[in-house]
Structure 1
Amino acid sequence: MAEEKKHHHLFHRHKDGEEEEGSAGGEVDYEKKEKHHKHLEQLGGLGAIAAGAYAIHEKHKAKKDPENAHGHKVKEEVAAVAALGAAGFAFHEHHQKKDAKKHGDN
């Protein structure tokens, strides 16, 4: 048969003892990882702000439009959950950034 394809999974876990390989033959560029996680942290924060603003907007719409208040309340709750998820993602990336910085200093 032709070349075997690698399977791409949702979570990429490394076996015990394996490290991520960087561009320099097995070394990891922690400065690059730190910048990457900082960028993702900022995107998560922006997502949290945007979803929170949309939740506030829908709350206002629910008060102004009593006929469709239920639909607006549902959208508000969904946006609030999205904001919470984005904030959690930003928090996670903040800790990933701190770990990369700590490993890079050693």
Structure 2
Amino acid sequence: MSGEHERGLNLFHHHKKEEEPQYAEDGSVLVETTEVDYTAVTQDGVTDSRTEIKEHKRHEHIGEAAALAAGAYALYEKHEAKKDPEHAHRHKLEEELAATAAVGAGGYVFHEHHEKKEAKNEAEGEKKHHFF
């Protein structure tokens, strides 16, 4: 790495390339302020591929958590339907809704996983052709 900052490899420590200090004629050190741009968009308006991969990975993890939570809630409602026969119909409806949400979140996870792989292949220069 040689002291240079590579975007995405270290989240909390942003090191700039160290430069030799410049001196004025009287021997004092000249200080220049530089602005560092950490945006994910390049000058051409194209998203940085590493940032795009991270974004899809983050969305994939969020979808996994949503699918897990919805599935757990569906199981809870199934248990409540057996435990509370007076309100069993309501619990069964909520179980079905939670199960549907879990399936939808699972589909979203699958979609984001596919998008992450596609962005990764594009970053490596391998463009795959889709005919559907």
Q: TM-score, normalised by structure 2?
A: 0.63
- What is the aligned partner in structure 2 of residue 26 from structure 1? 45
CA displacement at 1:60 relative to structure 2: 0.1
Equivalent of 1:51 in 67, 70, 88 = 70
Provide, for residues 64-89 of structure 1, a one-character-per-residue CA deviation record: whole Å limited to 9, x for no partner: 00000000000000000000000000
Question: Does the residue aligned with 2:45 lie in a helix, a strand or coil?
Answer: coil
Unaligned residue ranges in structure 1 (runs of 5+): 1-21
CA displacement at 1:35 relative to structure 2: 0.3
Q: Are 2:104 and 1:89 equivalent residues in the alignment? A: no
- What is the aligned partner in structure 1 of residue 85 from structure 2? 66
Q: TM-score, normalised by structure 1?
A: 0.77
Q: Are 2:55 and 1:36 equivalent residues in the alignment? A: yes
Q: Flag the structure with more relative contact order, 1 or 2, with Cα contacts below 8 A and sequence separation at least 6.
A: 1
Matched positions, count: 86
Separation in structure 2 between the aligned mates of residue 68 and residue 50 of structure 1, nearest angstrom: 22
- What is the aligned partner in structure 2 of residue 17 from structure 1? none
Separation in structure 2 between the aligned mates of residue 27 and residue 51 of structure 1, nearest angstrom: 36
Unaligned residue ranges in structure 2 (runs of 5+): 1-40, 126-132
Query: Which portions of structure 1, spanning 4 or more consecutive aligned residues, are displaced by more than 2 angstroms?
Result: none
Q: Which of the pair has more CA radius of gyration?
A: 2
Q: Are 2:121 and 1:102 equivalent residues in the alignment? A: yes
Which structure carries more helix by proportion? 1
Root mean square deviation, CA, Å? 1.3
Q: What one-letter code is carried by the residue in structure 2 that aligns with 1:28?
A: T
Identity %: 53
Separation in structure 2 between the aligned mates of residue 75 and residue 104 of structure 1, nearest angstrom: 43
Separation in structure 2 between the aligned mates of residue 24 and residue 46 of structure 1, nearest angstrom: 35
Separation in structure 2 between the aligned mates of residue 27 and residue 77 of structure 1, nearest angstrom: 42
